[in-house]
Chain A
């Protein structure tokens, strides 16, 4: 009887081990023309993005019947929650969408494959501007291929600007912006919903020839706290004058485009990335325009930002095959007719021209705006260092307290400096 029980336990244990060991098929390391290959692709985004990405994948599978593709997608927050444990378990997807604020962390910890040797052999980048491609380089290695480029701007509804009694000039300064926004506030309209703290503070610093992080990513990249005080103090003043909704109104509608003040007809425009324009215009459903960033020295401030990257996991057994897909995404005309610049304006000049005729009005505006800004833009600062998500959360916290009037900009500046530097000092 005892022996029988033991046997059952052993049998169960065996069953368990085989069940666990069943993953990870024996793919060949080469992945030549027609052997069966399985690729895992992961990305974050909206339903619209999931839809067309699936269509692009189906298109790819039509051309490559030997390739099987498993997809994993999620919202931005959930995506990173899933990816980190996968990295710890050495089970990252072959191809991942990478965000600029995380790529350093993944690259420097050896999670991503260096694609330098595959450029112009598997991944054709002959039509891509050097400066754009360089944004995916960390410590001399190509860890990411940008999916497209973005540029900052002010996206607004001209009809609303008229109602609010303001005019958006072709070029403006920081001081003029504050004047105009306060004027709109005085007339009972929000001018914007304030600005994303980390992105626009970094822009403001760039116009002064500085940046949020130093080159090595070991400390903040500016020494004068007055810059912090001027920028965030200025935004808080605009808010006080009614030029932007108070933080509690903002927090209620955060992430729900349909409920935002601009859709309700109470707000003139938004400061954001160019690839967010199309979605906003669709929901607002009125003619919209894009204006350049405020100066002075706007040219120093703006840069072509990779919307996101495609990266390949260093643990992938089918890097060559993964690169083939990235090449397809970057250089295939049919695929890009489905993508329609949703992940930023295509990086290949040839593709940009090929799909231009197929675009709807809003997307065309984005392409034109990016084309207009490209010659003026300066090189991007290095990607944010390891620990930047925590620095950004800290900054957002203090800015919130400043906007609520619970903290002076002076205190916020000093506190942010000490917190951020203690987080970043781990990178030394």
Chain B
């Protein structure tokens, strides 16, 4: 009982700020609520509108899926690549690790998003580089696809947290394995595919799921880069940004709650699918290689 007393701050906080609001938002998702007048029960209207009468909603789903499906694999590949580079015994390696981790620490922040805007502006660094290489400058803010590429680039650049986890995983692979394979005449490529990847697969699964969930909920970069509007032509209208606009700009709280619950279900399904596929490619040492 005394124990409960000591953790009561957390319990009260969890009830007041997480659990109860969740159920309230579930109730609100079946209502029409504009914050001013009491919620009006409308049954499944919100969901019906979402799935049948709101092209902007489907566009936001499409944009978000593109962002996740393209962004996350690139991010993980990048993270693994850098982790392998940093898994050496040279001096200064600690400094490099810190440097590579920095972007993720400042990652979700407003300042980075503003900097990103400027890098990709018409007269920005990226276009200057492209010009120097003899390519045509790209109008990053004039084309929905280019704007999405810019957002994805930002997410790939913030690979630090998954990199650290990969690094820990790489350190766990016994050095004897590599030595033994060298004796058997395996080159670096063979080593990577036959030893590193299989032994790292549980870590890859963990990273994949965590990154997918967080990518789904991305909000700040899209909000800042598009100045809250999701433009150009809804090219950066991520799901959470559209939800935010419905909730706080148009005061459609009921509709926004319904969107939030659909998002939860989508993420749950996606995570379940990833788990199901895992038994085909994730290798646990205890299983003796199936």
Binding site for B on A (CB under 8 A): 1-2, 4-6, 8-9, 12-13, 16, 77, 80-81, 84-85, 87-88, 105-106, 109-111, 246-249, 251-252, 254-255, 387, 389-390, 393, 396-397, 400-401, 404, 406
Contact = CB atoms under 8 A, between A and B. Distances in A.
Contact of A401 (B117, B233, B251): B233
Contact of B141 (A105, A248, A401): A248
Given A84-B251, A246-B139, A397-B233, 5 more contacts: A87-B35, A249-B141, A251-B141, A251-B226, A404-B142
A249 B248 CA distance: 27
Interface in B112-169: 117, 121-122, 139-143
A150 B288 CA distance: 78
Q: Which of B3, B139, B249 has the most CB of A within 10 A?
A: B249
A255 B139 contact: no
Contact of A251 (B35, B231, B249, B251): B231
Given A88-B35, A109-B36, A248 B249 contact: no
Nearest to B32: A426
Contacts of B228: 77
Interface string B1-24: 111110011001000000000000
B5 A9 contact: yes
A83 to B, nearest CB: 10
A252 B227 CA distance: 9
A17 to B, nearest CB: 11
Contacts of A84: 35, 248, 251
A13 B249 CA distance: 36
B5 A8 contact: yes
Contact of A16 (B12, B122, B141, B234): B12
B31 to A, nearest CB: 13
Nearest to B120: A252
Contacts of A80: 248-249
Q: Which of A16, A106, A248 has the most CB of B within 10 A?
A: A248
A246 B250 contact: no
Contacts of B232: 247-248, 251, 400, 404
Contacts of B52: none
Q: Is the interface of A mostly helix, strand, loop or mixed?
A: helix
Nearest to A388: B250
A255 B117 CA distance: 14
Given A12-B9, A389-B249, A400-B232, A249 B4 contact: no
B5 A12 contact: yes
Contacts of A396: 229
A181 to B, nearest CB: 21
B27 to A, nearest CB: 15
Contacts of B233: 397, 400-401, 404, 406
Contacts of B9: 12
Contacts of A1: 1-2
B117 A390 contact: no
16 contacts: A2-B1, A5-B5, A8-B5, A77-B249, A80-B248, A84-B35, A84-B251, A106-B36, A110-B36, A248-B143, A252-B121, A255-B227, A390-B252, A393-B229, A400-B233, A404-B232
Given A12-B9, A246-B142, A5 B231 contact: no
B245 interface: yes
A389 B250 contact: yes
B272 to A, nearest CB: 34
Contact of B231 (A2, A8, A246, A400): A400
Nearest to A7: B5
A40 to B, nearest CB: 19
A177 B226 CA distance: 31
Contacts of B140: 248
Closest 10 CB pairs of A and B: A248-B142, A5-B1, A109-B36, A8-B5, A248-B141, A88-B35, A390-B250, A5-B2, A81-B248, A2-B1
Interface of B: 1-5, 8-9, 12, 34-37, 117, 121-122, 139-143, 226-229, 231-234, 245, 248-252
B190 to A, nearest CB: 48
Nearest to A89: B35
A131 to B, nearest CB: 29
A88 B36 contact: yes
A248 B141 CA distance: 5
Given A389-B249, A389-B250, A393-B245, A87 B5 contact: no
Given A8-B5, A84-B251, A400-B233, A252 B141 contact: yes
A389 B9 CA distance: 40
A406 B226 CA distance: 19
Contacts of A248: 122, 139-143, 232
Contacts of B250: 387, 389-390, 393
Nearest to A6: B1
Contacts of B3: 5
Nearest to B226: A251
A12 to B, nearest CB: 6
Contacts of A249: 122, 141-142
Contacts of A105: 34, 36, 251
Contacts of B34: 105, 109
Contacts of A9: 4-5, 8
Given A6-B1, A247-B232, A404-B142, A254 B35 contact: no
A371 to B, nearest CB: 35
Contacts of A389: 249-250
A13 B4 CA distance: 13
B117 A252 contact: yes
Nearest to B230: A397
A393 B226 CA distance: 14
A106 B2 CA distance: 49
Contacts of B37: 109
Q: Which of B2, B35, B37, B226 has the most CB of A within 10 A?
A: B35
A387 B251 CA distance: 9
Contacts of A247: 142, 232
